[in-house]
Structure 1
């Protein structure tokens, strides 16, 4: 499997290029609009054809490059089926599987940060049947969980997020976590500058995961909420195609 993590600083976000090198089938996750041509050149340099472009959610802190990238590469643009958009996309549901050559992507619906949010569990089938890592977007990040009021009420989002974190906690402790943001992002608090972790490490040290009662978690998510991104409603509408 080929795998690349790109750490962007304006805005602060992480995007990913990975897939099956032997069959030249690649996937881009959470691309930024400003970097569309960069992803295309990176895929060419690595000898990969971009087959799927995935947004873990409809972003509210930056403009997604997914639609433009999918149009330029003729790749399938993937979102959770509940995504409220004015354009067509390849819809997925919880438990769906996508194959990019020998790389298997399993979709987990993990709402909370936004209602349509998904996480992606990735397996290199040439190495075995067990998953290797999970792309968690803004659901579970290193050090904290994503904020919950940009696309719903804070309390409803926190309720959904609590359930989503329980789902992710059920994955193997060895599984690596690759989030959609890191320290400096306004989409979470207490985020680490180290943009990778494991399920096991976060279960031991991530305060959001240490909270076992739903009411306590909701209270936690309502405290010290960071400033909202500037023009976040407008950015989400652009990403919805509205």
Structure 2
């Protein structure tokens, strides 16, 4: 039986992915810091396994993984590191503690989960890790500086582990969507100019579909949406100075 453990599962991309994989017959494990929304989703999915979790708490992460995988014969087919936060705004206007929180959740949380999951992934044929990357990990986005930094880190981690863990039959990849219509993004008080110019054209369900495709065929990076796929592949050939000028225009106030 295939199984998937999802962080940030109570809303947005995590919840959409949980619904899709549950519909496809997978055993779904749900992790989130919001207990009420988590319980509601678990009930919707036939009392799916769930646990409240702060992914920055390394000790709690180990306990959650052990509890879920104990019910799965010690195996984990797919870990989806979906938990993440962002805050739009001028870098200097955002409290340093908030920048640190973004990095703690987006980067340290992913490290905690992936490190603790290794033994269970190694014990599972064709195991995978899917990390929640972003178009913001391709080139630094103005007014999302620390978020971009976190997604650059995820991109590097993904590339390194895909090479390092190949000998263990563990595939590692990330999803790279542009802006997605989720409560996290829609509730931002500051609207970054890049958001106005590019728009928010993706729904969480489209990213969930990409996660499903990734589970069938791993790519190190999976850019999502035709718009960003064009930017991604052209960016592999475009000189860095030109990319910088494009981002400067998109972020101009």
Q: Hey, which of these two has a bigger chunk of helix by percent?
A: 2
TM-score in same-fold range (> 0.5): no
Q: Hey, which of these two has a bigger chunk of strand by percent?
A: 1
Could you state the TM-score of these two structures normalised by the residue count of structure 1?
Answer: 0.41
